[in-house]
Structure 1
Amino acid sequence: MHLKQLLYLSLLGFSPVLAHNSFATGNTEIVWTKQSADTTALPLDQSVRYGKLANGLTYYIRKNSEPQERVFMYLVNKVGSILENEQQRGLAHFLEHMAFNGTTHYPNNALVDYLQKNGISFGADINAYTSFNETVYQLQLPSNDSELVNNGFQILQDWAQGISLDHSEIDKERGVILEEKRAGKSLGERIQDKTLPVALNQSLYAERIPIGTENVIQHFPYQEIESFYKNWYRPNLQAIIVVGDIDVDKTEQQLKKQYSTLKNPAKPTVRPDYKIPLKGKNQFLVVTDPEITSTSIDISIKYPEKKLKSADDFKQSVIKALFNDMMANRYNPIFRIANPPFLGGGTSLSSFMGGLDVFQIQINAKPGRLKEGFDAVWREIFRAKQHGFTTAELQRAKDSYLNQMENIHQEKDKISSSQYVDEYIQHFLHGTASPGIDREIELINTIMPTIALQDIQQVLIQNLKDTDRDITVLAPEGEKAQLPNEATFLKWISDLSKEKTAPYAEQSNDQSLLRSKAQSGTIIKEEKDETLGTTTLTLSNNIKVILKPTNFQNNQISFQGFSYGGTSLYADQDFQSANNATNFIGASGLGNYTADQFEKAFAGRTASAAPFITETAQGISGLSNNKDLELALEMMYGYFTEPRLDTAVVAGILANAKDNLKDRDKNGDVVFQDSLMAILSGNNIRRTGLTIEKINQINPQRAFEIYKERFSNASGYNFTFVGSFDIEKIKPLIATYIGGLPSTGDQTPRFRNLDINIPAGKIEKKLALSKEDKAMVYLILSGNYDYNTANNIALQAFREVLEIRLLERLREEEGGVYSPSIQMDYDKIPDGRYTISVGFSCAVANADKLAQYSLEEIEKLKNEGPSEDNLNKFKTNDKLSYETAIKTNDFWSNYLYSNLYNGDDMHRIFKRSALRDKLNQTDIKNIAKQFISDKNVIKIVQLPETIK
C-alpha cells in the first residue's frame, strides 16, 4: 500500500483516497541525521502542469496513457456541508444533485441523456460526491472524441457556475433525496447519531452531516440554495483537474480560455477554516441498541494533525506506517490461539478530520469476556511502551514497506489516471505533498536506514496520552446494566500500566518452506494461438497450462488452476466440513511453517497462493511480482503436497464463529437476509444462514481429509497464467512446480448437480423485521436458460435498458427511490439458469406500488422492446467499457478461467463486437419473451416491526 494510502486511513470512513504517484522532480539531496530535520516543503511534481488563473481558479493537467484514449476531468470545490447555515442543512449535497438536473447548456435531464448516448455510464464515468469540506464532480471521457471532450469542458463550466436550479426540478428532487436519506437509516446510522457528536467534540461538524435534515430538504425556499450556490461556487475555491491521454499544451490553452470567464462575487464571503477543537478532557459514552450483537470498545486519542508537506513530514509518515504494521503483527498471534480472548482487536494511527489525527484502540469482546479482551489488547500496547520493539520486527516492517514501494515504482508508467486525480485533489484541498514516486523512492532509500527502534517506540509514547481521549462502548441493549462505567475502565487501564510485562518474544524458523522439493515433470506438448496471444502447455502429469504474457502491468503475474468436483461430491452431513476446509488450511501455515512463522519469514515478498473449494470445483489462485513468482509457485505446490492443520488455530476459528452468532437473531437486517436466502434456496441447508448447529457439524479432521481428497490428484487440472512474464523463462518453473504435482489419472466424477434452484412460481413474503421506518423491496425472476454468447449479450443489454427505465420511472418520474439495484446472473454449470433481481428501499406506503411499476417495466420490455435510444446507450457504453477492460490482466485472467470452466470457445471475445452491434429492439424483446417469465416472480418486502 502506498505511503499516503496508509497515512489517510480514517475512523469513520471520511478518508480521502490517495494515489500511487509517478512524478519526476529536482535532484536536491536530503541527508538525515539524528539532529537535523528538513521542514522545507516538498515541490510539486514537474510532470503535472499546475497553475492559477487570474480569477483564482487552480488547475492541474497531466498527460497519462493509462487507460489509453481516455481522459479524466474533475471539478473540485472547497465547498461542503460545513459551510451551511441552519436554514441550509443538506443544501451542499442537494446542490450536487441539481448539477445533473439542468444546467445552462443541458436543461432538465439532457446532461445524463447526452452522456449516456455517448457511452458514458452514470455512476461509473459521471458522478459526484459531497463531504463536509468539499464537493467533487467527475467525468471520464474518450479522449479521441474531440467534440465530446470539448463538451466535457463545457459541462464542468456549467457545474462551476451554470447549474439552472429550476424550481420544478428542485421540487422533484426533494423526494429523491429524502429517499436517499431513508435508505441510510440503519443500525449504523443510529450508532453514528450518538457517537459522532462525541467523536467530533460537539463541534459544528457534528451538526453538518452532509445528507442534511428532513425539514430543510422538504421545505427550504428556493432562494436558500440559490444563495448558497452563488456565494460559495466561485473560482477562487475551485480546481479543474484534467489527466489522461491528451495534449497538455492544447488542454491548458482551452482551459484558460474556458474558465477565465468565471467570476467571483463582488464581495466574496471569507471561507472559514473550521477545526475540531481539542478540549484537553476525556469523554465516555455508552451506546446500546437492540440490534447490536456484541460488545465493543473504541478508545480514540485525538491530537493535532500532522500534514504531509515537507521531507521531515514524509519521514514521520513512514515511521507511523511502520508502527502500524508492527503493532498489527503483535496481535496476529493472539487471534490464532485455541481460545482467543477477543473477537477482534488492534491499534492504529490515522488521519481523522477537522484538523485532527487519532490513535485508535479497538476491542470487539467475546460474550462475558469484556475485561479479558480489553486486557489482552491494552497489554500489548504497554508491552511495546515498556520494552519497545525488536530489531527483527523493525527489519520485517522495513522490508515489507520497501517491497511495496518498489512494486509501485516498477509500475510507474502503468498508473491509472484516476489515481493521479486523487493525488491532486488532496494537494488542492489539503496541501498534501505530491513530489512523485521517483522522489518518494529517493526519500525512502535515504531515510529508511536512519529509522531506529526508538523512533517507533517514541510514536507510541507520544500518542498514548491520557487527555483528549474518548472511550465509546457499543453493546446489546440487554447488557446495559452489566457494563462497567468510566471509573472501572480507568481502573483497568491503571492496573495494566502497573503490570510488569515480559519483553516480546518470538520463535524464528530458518528451514526451507517445504519438507520435500517438487518432483519436476516435463512439457510434452506446446501449442500457440497467435490470435488469442496464448501458448498452451500440456504437461507429463496431464495438466494443461495456458500462458498469456501481457504488457498491461510491468511487474504483476496472476495464475489460477482448477478441476471439477467441489463440495457437491459430499453429503449434507459433511458439507460444513468441506465448505470450511480451505479456510482451516489457509490459516494453519504451510510445509515447515506455522502461519505466524510464515508471515514473519516471508515479509517483504510479493507472493501469494490460496486454495479454494466451491460447489463444483476446487483449485488454487495466486499472485506475485516477477522476482517472487517461484515462491508463489512453491506455495501453490505446497498446498497440494504439504498442507497443515493447526488444531489450535482451527479451535480458535470455531470458537469465534460461535461467539459471533450470539444475539444474531436480534439484528433484523441479518434475519431478513437469512430469510431471503432460505426462500430463494427452498430452505436448503447449504444456502441458509450459519447457526450453532451448523458449526457443531464441522469436524476439523474430516475437513482435512476432504481437503486432501480434493487436492491429492491434480490430473486434469487447467491452469492459466497472465502477466509480465517471458514464456521461455517461465516454462522451467511450470515444469517443476505444476508438472511435479501429484497425478493418479482422471478425476471422476466431475461434480454433482444438487439441483438447488430458486423455486418456481409466484411467491410473496412480507417480513416485519426492521427497526426503521422504511421498506426494502426485492423482486427475483429466475428460470431455465440457454447459455451461449449471443443470448448472454442480449440478456446483458436487457439488464442495462431495464436499469435505465427503472431509474427513469421509479426515481425521476415517481421520486420514490434513490437508486434501484438491478443484478443479473446466468450460469452454464451445473445447468443453464438465469436470475434477475431488482432491489430498492422506499417509503412503506410505496412498496407495493413501486414493485408493481418495476414488474410493469419488465413486461413492457418483453412486449415492446426497449427504445432505440436506450439500446444504443447500452451498445456505446459496452464498446467503451470493453475497450478499457481488455487491456487489463484481471480481465484476461477471469476470461481464460471462465472459458475453461464453462467449456466455451476461447475465441468468442472476437465475436462480441459484431453480436453487440447487430442487436436490435426485437432481439431484446425476444430474449425477454423466451426466458423471463412473469410466472416465476418472488417478491419479498422487509417492513418495520410495527407494520404487520
Structure 2
Amino acid sequence: MRLLKPFICAFLLPLSYSPLLAHTTARSSMHVQARAILAQDTISWSTKLPFDKQVIKGKLKNGFTYYILKNVEPEKRVTMYLANKVGSILENENERGLAHFLEHMQFNGLKHFPKNDLVNYLQKAGVRFGSDLNAYTSFEETVYQLPIPSDDPELLKNGLQVMRDWAQDALLTTEEIDKERGVVLEEMRGGRGASKRMQDQYFPMLFNQSLYSNRLPIGTEDIITNFQPNVLRDFHTRWYRPDLQALIIVGDIDVAEMESEVKRLFSDLKKPKDYVLPKEEEIPLNGKNQFLTVTDPEMPYVVGQLFFKYRGNVPETVGDYRDALLKNAFNNLINLRFSDLTEKADAPFIQGSVNFSSLLKDIRTLQLTYVAKPGAIEQGFKALLIEVERVKRDGFTQAELDRVIKSLQKSNETSFIERDKRKSDRYVQGYLSNFLKQEPSLGMEENYAITKQLLPSLTLKEINALLTSYYTPQNRDILFLSAEKEKANLPDEGTVNKWISEVAKTPITAYADQVSDLPLLAQLPASGTVVSETETASIGTKTLTLSNGAKVVLKPTKFKNDEIRIAAVSAGGTSLYSDADYFSAKHAASLVSSSGSGQLNSKELLRYWAGKTAAAAPYISELSEGINARSDQEGLKDVFELIYSYFTAPRLDQDIFENYISRSKASLENRLSNPQAVFSDAINKSLYQGNIRRLSDTEAQMNQIQKDRSLAIFKERFADASDFTFTIVGSFTEAQIKPFLTQYIASLPTLGRKEVGKDLGIRAPKQGLTEKVYKGKEEKANVVMYYIGDYNYNRADNLAMDALASVLSYKLLERLREDEGGVYGVGANISYSKLPVGRYQAAIGFGTAIDKVESLINSVHEEVAKIIAHGPEQKDLDKYFIEERRQLELSLKENSFWLNQLNSSVINSEDPTAILTYEKELLKVDAASIQRAAKRYLKEDQLFKFILLPENK
C-alpha cells in the first residue's frame, strides 16, 4: 500500500487548494455556464466559496458522510474512495504503525471476502491490485480506493459491499495478522536508506518537537513484530466509525439509485459506546529559530533549505482564494527567475527554488531550497538569498506579472474547456480534501468564473509585499542535508547567520528582464504541397505524403476538447556514430532544446510561450531521432513553427553548453555514494561487458562532449525530412491542420536518405551468471533476476510473453508476499524488441531480508519451473484476459494511446490496424502457448542473478 513519502527536498508542492497552474491567453469567448457568475459587477471578497452544486453531499444520522457525482469520463467506470480521519497521529505509544498495519489487513479478510478473496474476486473483474485497488495511510488519514466497471450490476453491488466492509467489517484474524507482519516489515525495510535515516534526525526540528515527528505511519519494528492482535482490533473498533468516515463515488452511475444503496448499506454503522473524539495535535510556533545539519554517507548532494513557518487556514472566502492566487503567482514569478539563473554558464548551484507551500496541519511555509555545487556551499546559499533579496528590494516587473497572469488565465481557460472530459479521479481528490481537510470544493463553472474575475485584480504591489510579510527572522528553520564526506565543509549556525547578514548588506542590481521582439522564425517558409493521400477508415486515419517526401499520419479524435499530440520519428540515432562521437551525439538533443530555437534563446523563448499551450522537444535515441510535441488549437501555428525551427535553425549557445556540462558533472560527483546507482552500474557492466553505451555517464565522459560536434550531429539527424513520419492525434480537423503541414512540414529540407539504425552488436553473454554487489549500510538485500536472449519477434509470441509476465507476477506475489511474507512487492516484467534484431528481457525483482535471499530465489525458480512444466492455471489466465480487455476499453479513448500505437507501427513497420484484432488475437493465447513461451525464453542457462547486499556482508 502507498505510504507517506520521504521528505528530503520535499515540501515543494503548491498549496493544495490553489488553482491549477500552467505555462500557457485566455480566449475571449464567454462560456454560457459561467455567465451568471461573471454577470455580477464584482465578487465580494468576503463571500463564502460555493460548494460544488453538481455533487450530492449528504450525512447519515450516524455521522457517515457521502459524496456522489455522475461523471462519464471514463465511460462505464466508477471510482469509489473510502476516507477515514484515522492516521498514525491517533496511535498510542504501543500502537505505533498500527494505522498503517490495519490498512494492510483490509485486504486480508473482510466479512464478505475472507482471507484473500477480495483481491482474487476483483482481479477476476479486471481490477488490478496495486494500480487500481489500493490504499494509503498518512499522519491523519487512511484512504482506500476502488475503481471498477459500472456496467456490471453484480460487480457494482459487490463494490459497494467492499466499501461497507472496509468501513467496519475487517475480520482481523490472528492467522492473517501474523502472516502480514512479514509483509509490513519488508515494506519498512525497503524504505530504509539515507532518506529515512536523515528524516529521523530532522523531523523533530521540522515539526517543532511535536508528536508528529514520533508518529511516522510505518511504525516501529518492535511493535509490528510483537503487538498482540487485540491491540489492533481495539484500534479498529475505536477509530473505524461512521463519524470519521466518508464515501466518495464518482462515475458513470445512476446517482439516485447509488444514494439509496449508500443509505441502505451504511446507515447501520455504529460508534462504540465509549467513543472519544480524536485529540487535535498541534505543531507549536514559538517564534524561535532552529538550525540543523544532517549527514549521511549515501547522500549524493548538499541540499540547503530554509523554512519560514506561519499558520494558515484553508480558504473559506473569495478573499482567501485570492490570497492563494497571489502566492501561486509569486511562486511562478520567482521560480522563472531561478530558471534563468540556473541556465547561466556560471550558475551558482545545481538547482534552486522558492515556494509558498503547505507543511502539515495548519503550518505553511515560505521555503527556499538549493542543491549546492561541489565546494560551493557558501556561494550557493548566498546566491539563493540574493535572488530573494533582489525581489524584496526591487520587486518584480509589471511585464513579468503580466506573463504569469496570462499563463494562469490560460490554465483556467483550458480546464474549463475540458470540463466535460475531466476524469473521475480528479473530482474524487477535491471531495477527499473537502472531507479530510475542510478545503473548499468548487464546481468547475464557479472555479472558472471566480478565477477569471480575480486574476486581473492581482496587483504588483501586493505580490511584491509578500516577502515583507513572510520572509521574517522568526520561526525560521535552516537545514543542511549532506554527504558524510562534506561534513567538515558544512557551516555552523553562526556562520550561516553571518552569510545572511552579509547578503543583507550586499549591493544588488535590479533584475533585467530579457525579452525579444523578434519572431521565432526569421521568415516564413515557402509552402509545399500534399502529393498523395491514403485513408485507413477502420482506425480513422489518413496518411499524407508531402512534396518533400515527408509522411504525415492524421487521426482526429474527440477524446479531448482541445488537445493535439504530435510525434515525429526517423530511423538512425546515435548508432550511426562512433564511440568517439557517442557522448556528443547522446546529449545533442538536450543541449539544443536547452538553448532555445530559431531567433530566440532559452530565456526569450520561455517568455514567448507565456499564455500559450505549445511545446516540442527533440530527441536522439540509439536507433532513431524525432520530436514529441503537443498543442491546443490556438497554439498550432506556434508548435509547427517550433518544429520547423528545430529542423532548420537549431542553436547551441555557449553559455548553455558550459552550464549543462558544469551542472551535469556536479550532479555526478557523489553519485556512487548511492547503493542503487552502484548496483545499476554493476548490472550493466556485467551484462554488456562495460560498453560505454550501456553505462551511466561519468564526469570524464561529460568532458568528451564537444559543443560544435553536438550541434553538427543534431543538424545531421534533422537534415532530411523525407525519411520522417509525423503522427498527429487529437482535436483537430483535416482542413484545419493541412495549411500548417504544407507550410511548415512540406517545406522542410530533404536529402533523400534511406537510413536505418545500426546493429552495434551489444549483447548480454550467452551464459547466465550470478553476481553479488556490496554497497550500503542498511541490513537489507535487493534481488534482480534477468532472462535475456534472442527473440522471435512476432504477434503470437508477443501476446504470449505479455500474458506470461502477468501470470508469473500473480504467482510471485501470491507466493513470496502472501504465503511467505518475505517481500513487500515483487513482479515480473517482460520486454521485447524487433530492432535492430529480435531480443527479449524478462526481469524479476524484489527487496527482502538478507537471510531470506536464497529461499526466495528458490521460490522464484519453483514458480517459473511450474509454468514451464504445467503452464499457468486457468484462473490466472482469466484474470489477465479481463484486465487486458478492461484496460483496452479505457486506452482506446486516449490520445496518448493512439499516438504511441501509430508511432510504434511506423518504427517497427507494422500494421497499425492490428489493434482492432487485439481482443480476437488475445483469445488465441492459452496455457499451452504461454507454457511454450516459458520453455523457450525462461531458460536456466540464460538467467542472470544480481544481489545487492550491505557492505558489511
Write out per-residue CA displacement over residues 286-309 of structure 1, whole angstroms, 9 at most, x where no aligned residue. Answer: 111112233221111111023122
Deviates more, 1:213-222 or 1:501-510: 501-510
- 1:791 partner amino acid: D
**Aligned counterpart, 1:509:** 516
Structure 2 counterpart of 1:207 = 214
User: Structure 1 pair 32/92, CA: closer, same or farther in 2 (3 Å)?
Assistant: farther
Instruction: Please tell me whether residue 317 in structure 1 is matched to residue 324 in structure 2.
Output: yes
Deviations 1:322-364 (A, max 9, x none): 0000001111221122121111112111111121111110121
Deviation at 1:445, TM superposition (A): 2.0
RMSD, aligned CA: 1.8
8 Å CA contact retained: 1:30, 1:446: no
Distance 2:223 2:134 in 1: 24
* 1:834 has 2:835 as partner: no
Whole-Å Cα distance in 2 between the matches of residues 167 and 687 of structure 1?
Answer: 49
Q: How does 1:570-585 map to 2 (within 5 A)?
A: 570-585=577-592
For 2:882, the equivalent position in structure 1 comes to 876
Check whether the contact 2:238–2:272 (CA below 8 A) recurs between aligned residues.
yes
Matched, 1:123 2:123: no
Range with bigger deviation, 517-526 or 896-905: 517-526
Alpha carbons of structure 1 residues 821 and 18: separation in structure 2 relative to 1, 3 Å: farther
Question: Greater CA deviation, 905-914 or 18-27?
Answer: 18-27
Distance in 2 (CA, whole Å) between partners of 1:37 and 1:485 is 49
- Opposite residue 890 of structure 1, the aligned amino acid is S
Query: Corresponding residue for 1:251?
Result: 258
Alpha-carbon distance between aligned partners in 2 of 1:19 and 1:509, rounded to the nearest angstrom: 30
CA contact (8 A) 2:548 2:747 kept: yes
- Checking the alignment, whether the CA contact within 8 Å between 1:18 and 1:419 is kept in structure 2 is no
Matched residue type, 1:177:
V
Shift, 1:455, TM fit: 1.0
Distance 1:147 1:902 in 2: 42
Task: Give how far 1:462 is off.
Answer: 1.0
Between 661-670 and 818-827, the greater mean CA deviation after superposition? 661-670
Distance in 2 (CA, whole Å) between partners of 1:877 and 1:24 is: 38
**Matches of 1:662 and 1:927, distance apart in 2:** 43
Give distance in 2, aligned partners of 1:520 and 1:621. 22
Q: Is the 8 A contact 1:20 1:420 kept in 2?
A: no
* Deviation of 1:42 (Å): 1.2
What is the distance in 1 between the residues matched to 2:17 and 2:394?
35
- Counterparts of 1:293 and 1:247, CA distance in 2: 53
Residue 275 of structure 1, aligned match among 282, 302, 315:
282
Name the stretch that deviates more: 40-49 or 72-81: 40-49
Q: 1:655, CA displacement in angstroms?
A: 1.1
Distance 1:102 1:254, change over 3 A: same
Matched-pair contact (CA < 8 Å) for 2:412–2:452 = no
Partner residue of 2:27?
Answer: none
Aligned to 1:762: 768
Could you say what secondary structure the match of 2:360 adopts? coil
> Is the contact made by 2:37 and 2:449 (CA closer than 8 Å) also made in structure 1?
no
Offset of residue 925 of structure 1: 0.5
C-alpha contact 1:24 1:436 (8 A) present in aligned 2: no
> 1:264 Cα deviation (Å)?
1.3
Match of 1:85 among 73, 89, 92: 92
2:737 to 721, 730, 739: 730
- Give the aligned residue type for 2:55: V
What is the alpha-carbon distance in structure 2 between the residues aligned to residue 886 and residue 744 of structure 1? Answer: 37
Cα distance, 1:663 vs structure 2: 2.8
Q: For 1:836, what is the secondary structure of its paired residue?
A: strand
The question of 1:395 aligning with 2:399 is answered: no
Q: 1:30 to 1:300 in 2, by over 3 A?
A: farther
Quick one: distance in 2 between partners of 1:263 and 1:27? 43
Q: CA deviation at 1:932?
A: 2.4
Match of residue 849 from structure 1: 855
What does 1:423-438 align with in structure 2 at a 5 Å threshold? 423-438=430-445
Letter in 2 for 1:92: A
Report how far residue 16 of structure 1 moved: 6.6
Aligned equivalents of 2:218, 2:39: Cα separation in 1: 46
For 1:877-892, list aligned pairs within 5 A: 877-892=883-898
Partner Cα distance (2:607, 2:829) in 1: 42
Mapped pair 1:496 → 2:474: no
- What is aligned with 1:917? 923
- Say if 2:244 is the partner of 1:237: yes
Aligned to 1:605: 612
- Which residues of 2 match residues 439-454 of structure 1 at below 5 A? 439-454=446-461
CA contact (8 A) 1:556 1:724 kept: yes
SS at match of 1:841: strand
Superposed, 1:437-586 pairs within 5 Å as 437-586=444-593
The correspondence for 1:175, drawn from 153, 170, 182, is 182
Deviations 1:775-796 (A, max 9, x none): 0001001111111222111111
Q: 1:108 to 1:408 in 2, by over 3 A?
A: same
Q: Which of residues 78, 97, 105 in structure 1 aligns to 2:104?
A: 97
SS in 2 for 1:156: helix
Tell me the distance in 2 between the aligned counterparts of 1:68 and 1:476.
50
Instruction: Give the deviation of 1:15 after TM superposition.
Output: 8.7
Cα distance change, pair 143–212 in 1 and its aligned pair in 2 (3 A): same
Following TM superposition, by how much is the alpha carbon of 1:23 offset from its aligned partner in structure 2, in angstroms?
A: 13
Which stretch of structure 1 is more off in the superposition, 427-436 or 241-250? 427-436
Q: Secondary structure at the match of 1:513?
A: coil
The 1-side partners of 2:871 and 2:700 are apart by 49
Distance 1:667 1:931, change over 3 A: closer
Structure 1 Cα separation of the partners of residues 550 and 36 of structure 2: 52
Asked whether the 8 Å contact 1:518–1:637 carries over to 2, the reply is no
SS at match of 1:352: strand
For 1:845 and 1:579, locate their aligned partners in 2 and report how far apart those are by CA, in whole Å.
41
- Please give the alpha-carbon distance, in whole angstroms, between the structure 2 residues aligned to 1:503 and 1:84: 52
Partner residue, 1:858: 864
1:41 to partner: Cα distance? 2.4
2:230 corresponds in structure 1 to 223
Taking a change above 3 Å as real, the CA distance of residues 386 and 783 of structure 1, as seen in their structure-2 partners, is: same
Give the whole-Å Cα distance in 2 for the aligned partners of 1:26 and 1:58. 32
Q: Which amino acid in structure 2 is aligned with residue 11 of structure 1?
A: F
CA separation in 2, counterparts of 1:131 and 1:393?
38
Percent identical pairs in the alignment equals 41
Which segments of 5 or more consecutive residues in structure 1 lack a partner in the other structure? Answer: 1-8
Q: Cα distance, 1:380 vs. partner? A: 0.8
| Corresponding residue for residue 137 of structure 1 | 144
Deviation at 1:862, TM superposition (A): 1.2
Aligned length: 936
Q: How does 1:14-25 map to 2 (within 5 A)?
A: none
Displacement, 1:13? Answer: 7.7
Match of 1:775 among 775, 778, 781: 781
Question: How far off is 1:26 after superposition?
Answer: 10
Extract unaligned runs of 5+ from structure 2.
1-8, 22-30
Pick from 647, 652, 663 the counterpart of residue 640 of structure 1. 647
CA distance in 2, matches of 1:501, 1:436: 45
Q: Counterpart of 1:471 in structure 2: which amino acid?
A: I
Q: Aligned AA for 2:775?
A: L
Q: Secondary structure at the residue paired with 2:689?
A: coil
Q: Which moved more, 1:98-107 or 1:499-508?
A: 499-508
SS of corresponding position for 1:409: helix
- In structure 1, what is the equivalent of residue 424 of structure 2? 417
- Offset at residue 384 of structure 1 (A): 0.5
Report how far residue 737 of structure 1 moved: 0.8
Residue 436 (structure 1) shift: 1.6
Distance of aligned partners of 1:124 and 1:553 in 2 relative to their CA distance in 1, 3 Å threshold: same
8 Å CA contact 1:519, 1:741 repeated in 2 = no
Distance 1:450 1:381, change over 3 A: same
What are the equivalent positions in structure 2 for 1:622-641 lying under 5 Å apart? 622-641=629-648
Task: Quote how far apart the aligned CAs of 1:280 are.
Answer: 1.1
Give the deviation of 1:17 after TM superposition.
9.7
C-alpha distance 835-658 of structure 1, shift in aligned 2 (>3 A): same
- The separation in 2 between residues aligned to 1:19 and 1:674, in whole angstroms, is 42
Give the match's secondary structure for 2:722: coil
Please tell me the residue identity of whatever aligns with 1:819: G
